[in-house]
Amino acid sequence: MLAPISKSRLIPAAILAIFVYGLIAAMLGTLLPELSRKYGLTPDQNGGIALAQAIGLIIASLAVGPLIDNKGKKTGLLLGLGLIAASLFVVPNSPAGGLKIVFLALGVGGGIIVTAANALVSDISEERRATTLNLLNLFFGLGGLATPLIGAYVLAGNTIALCYLVAVLTVATFLLHAVTPMPPPTGERGFKLGEAGQLLGRPILFLLSLLLFLYVTCEVGVWNWLPRHLVAQGIPESRALGILSLGFALGLLVGRVVVSRILIKVSSPTVTLAASILMAITTYAMLQTKDPFLAGILVFCAGLAMAPVFPTTLAMVGDAFPKMTATAMGLAITCGWIGLAVSSRIIGAIAGDDPSQLKTALLVIPCASVLMVLVTLVIRPMLMHKKA
């Protein structure tokens, strides 16, 4: 007999899953300065590692939607958490040539977690999906805040201890999920191959996927590249990691708390449009200064601007696709990770062997933000008409 499903138990499970993903989202950016010194890696080689992680994210999010819809979210969450823990235990002893493989596996685990956790959160409160997703995703910001902060100030740059610490937290989260009853898959919401054409035949899915493609280019571009850029501008590494943590990650966290209330009265498309405009302004500004204090303020503002976009876009996907929800979310998230893969190679190629060129290369981020504004202007009347 199946154990009863309790939303009060689902919420902490979802929180921890999203928190773990926040921890690993900031992991590559936190480790890159140390890995670059240890192995003599250039920005172009850094881009190759980021690309490997992005490919893992793409593979996972593309494949995991049907798995979750048919086998349940618990299966996906346990698989993702297991891969993340195993990868983190391997990172400290990996040779330079093995880093791409390890981060590929870490990307696969992360991609599974993002889709499964957001699909689980989406089920907790269908009536206020956008508000709930933003509230729960603030713990992503908390995880992103914790990794560089602990790495820089608590462990004093000890990357081995950082990897093991996050791995142990991931194992603890795995055990909690293993004993938490979760909703089984249902035929009504499950993936059916015969209905895939209806899913892919709706332009709104492609537009929302394009929005995530551009957004992830921006957000993960900051996570992965900002510390190296700041170090190249003459800012000490510990200060650069502090800016990533207490600037960007804290901005994401605070922004999601604030916007969860705004979304009760303001529509998701309107919030996303405003956020895209602010992203274009703040991400350009943060690249124009070498002053650590001003950089921290501008990076915090960029985090505030970005805060609502990912969870609110996923909420719009959930609203548009009440059936095959995880599959639709998985397809949209896949496009997001493709944005990471493309931008990582572009940023790495522009910078080449010269870290000082990262300032020019990272202009990819405000350019993508401007394109987000244009895409949102197309999406907004479509979703507003549907709601009316």
> If you average pLDDT over residues 135-153, what whole number do you get?
82
Query: Over pLDDT 90: what percentage of the chain?
Result: 34
Task: State the pLDDT at residue 215.
Answer: 96
Say if residue 187's pLDDT is above 50.
Answer: no
Contacts of 56 (CB under 8 A, 6+ apart): 103, 104, 105, 106, 107, 108, 109, 110, 111
pLDDT for the residue numbered 2: 46
Helical ranges in the chain per DSSP H: 7-25, 27-39, 43-71, 73-90, 99-124, 129-149, 159-179, 196-200, 203-232, 237-242, 250-262, 268-286, 292-306, 309-320, 325-351, 358-361, 364-387
Q: What is the pLDDT of residues 309-320, one digit of tens each?
A: 988 998 888 777
Query: In this predicted model, which residue has the larger pLDDT, 333 or 125?
Result: 333
- The helix-helix angle for 7-25 and 159-179 (nearest 10°) equals 160
Task: Look at residue 388 and tell me whether its pLDDT is greater than 60.
Answer: no
> Of 120-124, 147-151, 177-181, which range is least confident?
120-124
Confidence of residue 291 (pLDDT cuts 50, 70, 90): very high
Checking if the pLDDT of 358 tops 70, the result is yes
d(CA 364, CA 216): 12
Give the angle 333-338-341 at the CA atoms, nearest 5°: 135
Contacts of 367 (CB under 8 A, 6+ apart): none
User: CA nearest 46: which of 31, 62, 24, 61?
Assistant: 31
Residue range 176-193: mean pLDDT, rounded = 67
Mean pLDDT value of segment 347-364: 88
Sign, Cα dihedral of 221, 227, 233, 235: positive
Give the pLDDT band (50/70/90) at residue 127: low
What digits encode the pLDDT tens for the residues 196-254?
Answer: 556 666 788 899 999 999 999 999 889 888 988 999 899 998 899 889 888 998 898 89
Query: What Cα–Cα distance (Å) separates residue 115 from each residue in 254, 323, 327?
Result: 23, 15, 9
Question: Over 70: is that where the pLDDT of 189 sits?
Answer: no
Statement: residue 293 has pLDDT above 80: yes
State the pLDDT at residue 90: 94
| Residue 176 pLDDT | 93
Cβ-based neighbours of 219, under 8 Å, separated by 6 or more: 306, 309, 310
Q: What pLDDT score was predicted for residue 211?
A: 96
* pLDDT (0 to 100) of residue 163: 92
The mean per-residue pLDDT over the stretch 369-373 comes to 97
Average pLDDT over residues 127-150: 78
Assess whether pLDDT exceeds 50 at residue 283.
yes
Model confidence at 308, pLDDT cuts 50, 70, 90, reads very high
What integer is the mean pLDDT of 335-360? 85
Residue % of the chain over a pLDDT of 70: 88
In this structure, of 276-280, 301-305, 355-359, the range with the lowest mean pLDDT score is 355-359
CATH number of 7-181+198-387: 1.20.1250.20
